[in-house]
Every structure is written in C-alpha cells, then in structure tokens.
Amino acid sequence: MQAAFFHGVRDIRVREVQDAEPRAGEALVAVTAVGVCGSDLHTYLLGNIGGVSSREPLVLGHEAGGVIVALGAEAPPHLRVGQRVAIDPATPCLQCEFCQHGQHHLCLNLKFMGYFPQHGALQERIVHPARSLVPVPDCISDVGAALLEPLGVALHAARLGAVRHGEDVLVIGCGTIGLLCLRLARLAGARHIFAVDRYAWRLDMAANFGADHCLNVEQVDPVEEVMRLTNKRGVDVAFEAAWVTETANQCALAARNGGRVIIVGIPAEDEFTLKASVVRRKELTLIYSRRMNHTYEASIALAERGLVDLDALGGFQMPLSRAAEAFDAAADYRAGVVRAMILPQQKG
C-alpha cells in the first residue's frame, strides 16, 4: 500500500509500505479522507511543532475517517467489518490521574497519531486501537467524518469560552477551526459576531457561517473597528484561532472588562507575549484550549442535524499520490482552500 511521509521542510514523499495486521484490541481501517490541519502545516513548514521534531520520516495526518477492513481479537462489540468510522487520533492510557478524572486530552501518556513518533493517517490503510474508532451515520460524508475532529477541537474551545445568549464574540483567524468556533458561537446565541482575517475568501466563508461583521486586517485595524462597533465596550469572548503572534494581544485589547480570551492557535515560535497591563486592568480570563475531549457524540449530532456544514470546508480534494500538492495549497493559502483534503482511496 502507499503512504505519504514527511522528510523535511516542504518535503512530502509517497512510497510503498507493507500492510500491517491488527493485533488484539486493534482494527485495520481503509482511510477514506484526511484533513491537512494547521498543526500538520507547522511540521511541514517549520520542521517541528511545539518544539517536537521528527527524527525520521513520519506519516502525518490526524483528521481522518475510514472503513473498518479487519478487526483483531477483543474488539469492542459495537464495531464490525465494513463499518464507516471517524478515527479519533488520541489514545489515552486510561490509567493516569487525568484519565481517571475524565480529562483524556491531558493524559500523561497520550499517544497521538501523526505526532512523532506515532505515524498518522496519510496512508491507504492504518492499524489503530479499536476503542478509538467512532461509528458515523451514512448522512455524514467521508470528508465530514474526517472533519469531525476539527469540529471537536472547536467544540472543546467553545465549551471553555462558554458563550451565552446575547454575548458579543470575536474570532481572529478564519481557517477551519476559527470558522467552526464562529459557527458554534452563532448556535449558542451570540448577539454580534466579529470575524477577522486577511483573506477575502475566508471572510466570505465566515459570513456564510454566521459572522455579522467581517473585518479584513489589510483594510482596517480590527481592534479599533471592534471597539467602534461595540461603543468602546469590547466583546464578551474572543477566540484566537490563528498562529498567535499579534493576535493574542488583539483579542485582549478587543475584549471587554472581565471578558474571556480563548487561545486555540499554535504559535510558530512556540511562544507569544501579552501586554500585561491590558490583561490585568481588564481582569481578563485567559484560557488555552488543547485539542478536544469527549466531543465526538456532540459533533456527530451537530453534523447529522445539518447545524454545521463540514463538507463546505473540505471542497479542495487530492488523491494520496498528490499529497504534496495538497500541503502546498494549504501552506500557501490558495484561494478557496479552507481545509485541504487528501483521499487515500482515490486514484490519480
């Protein structure tokens, strides 16, 4: 079978690898769709993410869906061969104190596919712990099944932000996660939603997902505009969903006194600074959001009921043989590419 390996900065190579067999507690899954996440792009463009580098060629990809091909012994009884599933990339130990308290995303021994040294989903078939497979209904497409993972990330952030009816919300960065945070804020009953980005086509998508005010940083100062439109009050909740350079400070400056700032983006430099006087004087609540936790059930319900249009995000699609092109399209912010999708079962 074929798999796409990251070898170095902007260097993705597809080659043949040997098929693996599922052992006890595992399943063999034919991967149908994989999203190119912003964290994948950190590795692709910088050679590492959060200070972790790949010391050997690595298969990336953690937003994925597929079809079960084979099940090892001791598989959960609700799974069967031929079943369509979302692939939860995280495998917690279930034994540490955080797992015992239901915080699986903070597991001390967490394994996460596509994050060194665990190979990811950019391959035709993957062996994965069966307990980390989530059945999906037929009304959710293959692309939608893969994008349940970023929806879960946004849902986790939205829960931390706790948007209430009538509150004003700011989202800086209208990539996939930002758009989904925006959509969830609208569903939560936000009054006014401000979307900020530098690409017009992303802001068009933000408007479709429910933004009231779409602010292009190439044309206006987003903080000044938010303060003007809120009569200098600021927003109740600000979601940072870009690469956290100046954007964290913009969120703090645009938040009201006593407001909440949720950091979802990952800084390229593995650090960012905040103007302490602003955060202190406003007595802001600052929360950093990490991945997702117990979100698949709710994410499936949102997609199944048509409340979140996942397919609209994944319209740019490439076969596995052209994985490098998909990464370049995402990395170069090609117009119209919200989430580049790679379809390992598609020939081309």
CA atoms within 13 A on the CB side of 266: 17
User: Do the Cβ atoms of 291 and 113 come closer than 8 Å?
Assistant: no
User: Do the Cβ atoms of 92 and 107 come closer than 8 Å?
Assistant: yes
Q: Give the tens place of pLDDT for each residue, 80-93.
A: 999 999 999 999 99
Cβ burial of 139 (10 Å; 0-12, 13-18, 19+) is exposed
The full set of domains in the chain, from first to last, is 2-147+310-343 (3.90.180.10), 152-288 (3.40.50.720)
DSSP symbols for 94-158: S-SHHHHTT-GGG-TT-EETTSTTS--S-BSEEEEEGGGEEE--TTS-HHHHHTHHHHHHHHHHH
- In order along its 348 residues, the chain shows pLDDT tens digits of 999 999 999 999 999 999 889 999 999 999 999 999 999 999 999 888 877 777 789 999 999 999 999 999 998 999 999 999 999 999 999 999 999 999 999 999 999 999 999 999 999 999 999 999 999 999 999 999 999 999 999 999 999 999 999 999 999 999 999 999 999 999 999 999 999 999 999 999 999 999 999 999 999 999 999 999 999 999 999 999 998 788 999 999 999 999 999 999 988 888 888 999 999 999 999 999 999 999 999 999 999 999 999 999 999 999 999 999 999 999 999 999 999 999 999 987
A 10 A CB-CB count for 138 gives 7
The pTM of this model reads 0.96
Q: Give the tens place of pLDDT for each residue, 188-239.
A: 999 999 999 999 999 999 999 999 999 999 999 999 999 999 999 999 999 9
